[in-house]
Amino acid sequence: MTTLLTPPNDTERAEAPAPLSRPAKRKFGRWVLFVVMVAVAVVMLYPFWVMIVTSLKSEAQFLSGGGFSWLSWKSLSATIPIGQEVLSSTIVCSASILIILLVGLPAGFAFSKLRFRTSTAVFLVIVSAMMVPLQAILMPEFVNVTRLGLTGGYAGAVLVYAALGTPFSVFLFTTYFRGVPDELIEAGIVDGLGYVGVMWRLVVPMAVPAIATVTVLQFIQIWDDLLVGLLFIQNTSERPITVGLAVLAAGRTTSIPALMAGSLISALPAMLVYLGFQRYLVKGLTMGIDR
Amino acid sequence: MSLISAPVPRVRRMTLRRRRQLAGFLFALPAIALVVGFIGVPIGQAVYYSFTQWNGLTSKWIGTSTWTQAFHNSNLWTALQNNALLLLAVPFALGLPLCIAALLHQRVAGWRIFRSIYFLPTAISWVVLGLVAERFFAYQGTLNSIIHALGLSSVTTNMLGYESTALSALGITFVFTMIGTNTMLFLTGLATLDPTLEEAARIDGASRWQIFRSITLPHLSRFIQLAFVMTVIALFSALFSLIFVMTGGGPGYATTTMEFLIYQTGFNQGDFGTAALYGLILFVLTGIVGVVQLRLIGSNE
Amino acid sequence: MAEITFDAVTKIFGDDIRAVDELSLHVADGEFMVLVGPSGCGKTTALRMLAGLEDITAGTISIGGAVVNNVLPKDRDVAMVFQNYALYPHMSVERNIGFALKVRGDSKSEVKRKVGEAASILHLNDFLDRRPKALSGGQRQRVAMGRAIVRSPRAFLMDEPLSNLDAKLRVEMRLEIARIQRLLGVATVYVTHDQVEAMTMGDRVAVLRDGKLQQVDTPQDLYDRPANDFVAGFMGSPPMNLIRCHARAGDDRVKIIIGDQTVELPWSYTSSHDLPASGLDVVVGVRPEDVIITDATSPNTLKTRVERREALGAEILVHLSRVDAVADASTNALGARGDLSRPAVLVAKMGPRVKIDVGDVLSVQISPEHAHFFDATTGLTLRRR
């Protein structure tokens, strides 16, 4: 019998079976893993494959089945007002993100460092607004914006996008700024800055990962959005690319290869933005979760 | 002590605390204004207008008849049913990314490239994904080509054309679109897990599965919670794009969910009042799901 | 003119937490004043009120003769060195140091010149381009100092700047800070919990406890003439032995009754102390170096037993318990080190080559001129000022 203070006898240990050769087992496992991951990658890349292949046909070729042609690409701008629509998307995205940052950064700073009496409650209200589905407020929103005369061009949509993106950005910035030591801010105050100075000259430069995260996620969301663009930008000349593609697709008269080509172009900016800011994304998300 | 003093320093009447609180309030004001104005107010309005007959320009109070009419409308029930059925896709939309994240976490050679690839479809608009999916499921589409190639010609489908299968096609596409974001989320979660915990467990003799169940999973519960909420919200709102492009709600009302119904009722039929009401219902549903999951995970802990 | 005056300053947090209680203190221009005390004694709060980072609940703080209660930090013209240095991570050393000047509006050439001067004093010239994360702890500390001195402020405020450094660096930096302060001649308020820093660096030291000022004096005076048993036990390492007992004064002697042993101190404490002949419960304080080990034949000894022995290289500390004593918790006034054997009552300091072992029975004497007497109830010294 063994107790805590007396070590067990060697003969009391059970006979352990000799394990399968460890290195070999592991290596085999790694290979299986690798194959699985490649398979998943193939599935993930499938849409791109489809888009590329389909766009490289002419309409006739597409309908009949086979073939290869640059025709759809060459006549793209004739089929879809692609340049204009991409421009619109860019304008809308940039303006919205700018507002989201300009509004979210001070708010994040306020909720994390400049607490006021009801700030926790207000913070919760703003963050819970993230859970409101757009469709729930769609009708009144639409009517309001129309009454304000903002549904022709970009302004209405930009404001709606900004309002929809603010809760998340406030949440992320608040969480991120909570990690900034109070001493840093006090040092700034003793050095002579007011709160505005502290925010713009000290805290914001330190928040680059959070800013990048918000920018990437909001960019993808706004660029790829359909509903707001569809309803709030009524001038067809100012239509964003996503809306343009959807409308043409729903009409079911446009050449599919052309649509695929347009889709590829539409997908490009968001992908580039994502790839460019990848590093910051993981860092920023971690901050957001760690609360 | 001399009476010659330095330039008179600015004397504030306010205490530091007050000053800080005022600054905080002012800094948060734009955000509050934006959210209240564009999200808070419309909710209130939606409540009001749900009691009216409203075509966007004029409203006529008709009390609860909008409500009673709506609940008698079979389309509403179909839409609700569709939303409910689609909830079945959520476990897949969470489980698959979990597995993939676990795979990535093993750090097999080139995992960073794989990670980028897996997230790439997220950057694509749901509209575009819908277009591609439509091609995939169509009668002359890829799915059938694969089936033909496998020699199972008898099983060819036209998933989007039949009521019974259209929703499934939608569900599958939805799961696909969510894989990217949820995988990234879970991967982040796994990255924040302290490896020494795992090592300690391994030294204590725990098997891979035991480690996963008692250490990894509890740590991830916060992330799973977040993913669940985000997935459901997407299901109840972002799905619109897929529906719009893939099926337009059809065939019939087979793929009309609440979010699509709202659009349809309001903009195609011009019945803003009922649409507002549907919006409210959707909001309440989302809220219920949110609360339920809080309770569920809460009780686990 | 940059003298600093605290006048009955009080800080109350929430409803009832008195972090600082009626603190009155005067720091002369150019003086190095150390605020010392255990955690939670209010020293940091007092410093922060001086800096303008905390509101003052009651009382006034004056700098240079003018009350600054409602003056913003930047207008008080004080510089602060924080415990964790609070260096701006996205700026180089040069920009960190020059930041306050830039905010103030100094010209670029002025800023560069002053930063250069500060960097020279602190030997930071080779690091001006680096970011804080590329610096060692000691270097960061010096940058924090540089940031403070470059402003030529009226006062330096330092909040435990050395507590994050390793022991050796701490000793080095202690000298550095003292040197720089003397060089610049600026009034300095320095907060620490380390009484060694207080002793070696301060012109005067203020001991705080639970928000109240216990005593403010030069280091040597604090050591030799503590005003109460707390200060007595706080200053000095190892701490002064404090023994609760009963004392009765005679003509030329004081009788001390410790447990069931009696020791007579043949010294006229009666003129310098308020010790009644009727006897009083007192706390007797004896520093370890003033506990003399003699042989059993000497008069007026306390019989003790060695419980523990700590060899420190330059000296040996022996922990002694009373012999023929029942383990009496009340004899040891300020915390007995529990042992599996008997609680130690006295710590004595001895030379490194004395042969003493655990279990030895020793006779000790209390050095007559170096005993301190404190009232057992109030803790105040019984010495007449």
User: Does C88 contact A at CB distance below 8 Å?
Assistant: yes
Q: Do the Cβ atoms of B10 and C72 come within 8 Å?
A: yes
Query: What pLDDT does A289 receive?
Result: 53
Please tell me the distance in Å from C152's CA to the nearest CA on chain A. 12
Query: What pLDDT does B156 receive?
Result: 59
How is residue C104 annotated by DSSP? H
Residue C35, strand partner residues? C191, C206
Most confident of B182-196, C200-214, C336-350: C200-214
User: Does B30 contact C at CB distance below 8 Å?
Assistant: no
Please tell me the distance in Å from A111's CA to the nearest CA on chain B. 7
Chain A hits for C89, Cβ within 8 Å: 206
Kindly report the average pLDDT of chain C as a whole number. Answer: 87
Strand blocks (E) in chain C: 4-13, 17-27, 32-36, 58-63, 66-67, 78-81, 155-159, 187-192, 204-209, 212-217, 241-249, 254-258, 261-265, 280-286, 291-294, 302-311, 316-322, 346-350, 361-366, 371-375
Residues of C with CB under 8 A from a CB of B: 1, 52-55, 64-66, 68, 70-72, 75-77
Determine whether B60 is exposed, middle or buried from the number of CB atoms within 10 Å of its CB (0-12, 13-18, 19+). exposed
Q: Which helix (H) or strand (E) holds B18?
A: helix B16-35
Query: What pLDDT does A249 receive?
Result: 79
Chain B hits for C54, Cβ within 8 Å: 16
> What is the spatial distance between Cα C5 and Cα C23, in angstroms, rounded to a whole number?
10
Residue B294: other Cβ atoms inside 10 A: 12
Mean pLDDT computed over B164-168:
81
Chain C hits for A202, Cβ within 8 Å: 88
Collect contacts of B99-105 with beta carbons under 8 A, ≥24 apart. Answer: B100/A40, B100/B179, B100/B183, B101/B182, B101/B183, B101/B186, B101/B187, B101/B189, B101/B190, B102/B186, B102/B190, B102/B212, B102/B216, B103/A33, B103/A36, B103/A37, B103/A40, B104/A37, B104/B183, B104/B187, B105/B187, B105/B190, B105/B191
Residue A278 neighbours by CB under 8 Å, 6+ apart: B116
Task: Please say whether the beta carbons of C144 and C161 come within 8 A.
Answer: yes
Domain B73-299 belongs to what topology?
A: MetI-like fold (1.10.3720)
Closest residue, chain A, to C81 (C-alpha): A187
Mean pLDDT computed over B68-76:
80
> What is the spatial distance between Cα C226 and Cα C207, in angstroms, rounded to a whole number?
10
Chain A hits for C86, Cβ within 8 Å: 181, 183-184, 186-187
Q: What is the pLDDT of residues C267-288, one digit of tens each?
A: 777 677 887 778 888 888 999 9
Name which residue leads in pLDDT, C382 or C155.
Answer: C155
As a whole number of Å, the end-to-end CA separation of chain B is 66
Between positions 186 and 245 of B, the ones with CB within 8 A of A are 187-189, 191-192, 222-223, 226, 229, 233, 236-237, 240-241, 244-245
Residue C29 neighbours by CB under 8 Å, 6+ apart: C1, C2, C3, C187
Closest residue, chain B, to C56 (C-alpha): B15
Task: Please say whether the beta carbons of B137 and B143 come within 8 A.
Answer: yes
Tokens, residue A223? 């660029």
Closest residue, chain C, to A188 (C-alpha): C100
Q: Do the Cβ atoms of C86 and A181 come within 8 Å?
A: yes
Block residue for tokens 């022996």: C318
> What is the spatial distance between Cα B75 and Cα B71, in angstroms, rounded to a whole number?
9
Q: Is the pLDDT of residue C292 over 80?
A: yes
Please tell me the distance in Å from C22's CA to the nearest CA on chain B. 20
Block residue for tokens 């800094």: B27
Q: What is the pLDDT of residues B146-165, one digit of tens each?
A: 777 776 665 556 677 777 77
Backbone dihedral angles phi then psi of residue C63, each to the nearest 5 degrees: -125, 125
Tell me the helix, strand and coil percentages in chain C, rounded to 5.
Answer: 25, 35, 40
Query: What pLDDT does C327 receive?
Result: 47
* Helix, coil or strand: residue B160: helix
Task: Please say whether the beta carbons of A246 and A226 come within 8 A.
Answer: yes
Chain A hits for B229, Cβ within 8 Å: 131
Closest residue, chain C, to A191 (C-alpha): C100
Does residue B271 come out as left (phi exceeding 0), alpha (psi in the -120 to 50 range) or beta?
Answer: beta
Mean pLDDT computed over B75-79:
85
- CA angle (C148, B27, A162) in 5-degree steps: 130
Residue A69 neighbours by CB under 8 Å, 6+ apart: A56, A57, A58, A61
Task: Please say whether the beta carbons of C24 and C9 come within 8 A.
Answer: yes
Q: Do the Cβ atoms of A249 and B127 come within 8 Å?
A: yes
- Angstrom CA distances, B12 to A199, B9, B25, C61, C75, stand at 21, 9, 19, 15, 11
Closest residue, chain A, to C76 (C-alpha): A190
- Residue of C103, C141, C157 best to disrupt the A interface, most CBs of A under 10 A: C103
Q: How far is CA A240 from the centre of its chain?
A: 17
Closest residue, chain A, to B289 (C-alpha): A131
Chain A hits for B103, Cβ within 8 Å: 33, 36-37, 40
Task: Please say whether the beta carbons of B126 and B242 come within 8 A.
Answer: yes
User: Does A180 contact C at CB distance below 8 Å?
Assistant: no
Query: What pLDDT does A13 receive?
Result: 46
> What is the spatial distance between Cα A138 and Cα A130, in angstroms, rounded to a whole number?
15
Peptide bond into C238 cis (omega under 30): yes
Q: Do the Cβ atoms of A192 and C88 come within 8 Å?
A: no
Query: What pLDDT does C363 receive?
Result: 87
Q: Is the pLDDT of residue C220 over 90?
A: yes
Q: Do the Cβ atoms of B135 and A141 come within 8 Å?
A: no
> What is the spatial distance between Cα B190 and Cα B101, in angstroms, rounded to a whole number?
8
Q: Do the Cβ atoms of C82 and A192 come within 8 Å?
A: no
> What is the spatial distance between Cα B282 and Cα B280, in angstroms, rounded to a whole number?
5
Give the orientation angle of helix B126-137 with respect to helix A256-290, to 10 degrees: 130
Chain A hits for C147, Cβ within 8 Å: 187, 191
Residue B164 neighbours by CB under 8 Å, 6+ apart: B254
Closest CA to A86 of A289, A287, A269: A269
Query: What pLDDT does B297 receive?
Result: 60
- Residue of B21, B111, B113, B131 best to disrupt the A interface, most CBs of A under 10 A: B131
Query: What pLDDT does B152 receive?
Result: 65
Q: Is the pLDDT of residue C21 over 90?
A: yes
Of A139, A163, A220, the CB nearest to B38: A163
How is residue A211 annotated by DSSP? H
User: Does A63 contact B at CB distance below 8 Å?
Assistant: no
> What is the spatial distance between Cα B114 and Cα B1, in angstroms, rounded to a whole number?
74
pTM (2 d.p.)? 0.81
Chains contacting chain B through 3 or more C-beta pairs under 8 A: A, C
Q: Do the Cβ atoms of A187 and C86 come within 8 Å?
A: yes
Tokens, residue C286? 């004896």
Most confident of A279-283, B37-41, B69-73, B164-168: B37-41
Q: What is the pLDDT of residues B103-133, one digit of tens each?
A: 888 777 778 888 888 888 888 888 888 888 8
Closest residue, chain B, to A36 (C-alpha): B103
Instruction: Give the A:C interface size as CB pairs under 8 Å.
Output: 49
Q: Do the Cβ atoms of B9 and C76 come within 8 Å?
A: yes
Q: Is the pLDDT of residue C357 over 50?
A: yes
Mean pLDDT computed over C199-220:
94
Residue C213, strand partner residues? C208
Task: Please say whether the beta carbons of B61 and B50 come within 8 A.
Answer: no
Chains contacting chain C through 3 or more C-beta pairs under 8 A: A, B
ipTM for the whole complex: 0.79
Chain A hits for B223, Cβ within 8 Å: 289
Q: Do the Cβ atoms of A191 and C103 come within 8 Å?
A: yes
Please tell me the distance in Å from B24's CA to the nearest CA on chain C. 16
Chain C hits for B16, Cβ within 8 Å: 52-55
What's the pLDDT band for C200 if we cut at 50, 70, 90?
A: very high
Looking from the CA of A57 toward its CB, the CA atoms found within 13 Å total 18
Between positions 228 and 287 of B, the ones with CB within 8 A of C are none
Chain A hits for B185, Cβ within 8 Å: 285
Of C1, C53, C75, the CB nearest to B10: C75
Using only C-alpha atoms, what is the Rg of chain A?
27
- Residue of B3, B10, B16, B21 best to disrupt the C interface, most CBs of C under 10 A: B16
> What is the spatial distance between Cα A209 and Cα A211, in angstroms, rounded to a whole number?
5
Query: What pLDDT does C331 receive?
Result: 47
Closest residue, chain B, to A29 (C-alpha): B108
Name which residue leads in pLDDT, C88 or B208.
Answer: C88
Closest CA to C54 of C26, C32, C76: C76
Query: What pLDDT does B26 receive?
Result: 92
Chain B hits for A109, Cβ within 8 Å: 27
Tokens, residue C1? 């003119």
Closest residue, chain A, to C89 (C-alpha): A206
Closest residue, chain A, to B110 (C-alpha): A34
Peptide bond into B251 cis (omega under 30): yes
CATH of segment(s) A81-285:
1.10.3720.10
What's the pLDDT band for B30 if we cut at 50, 70, 90?
A: very high
Backbone dihedral angles phi then psi of residue A126, each to the nearest 5 degrees: -65, -45
Among A15-19, B107-111, B185-189, C174-178, where is mean pLDDT lowest? Answer: A15-19
User: Does C80 contact A at CB distance below 8 Å?
Assistant: yes
pLDDT along chain A (291 residues), means of 10: 52 50 71 86 87 79 71 75 87 94 94 88 88 85 86 86 93 88 91 89 87 89 89 85 84 78 86 81 61 39
Query: What pLDDT does B299 receive?
Result: 46
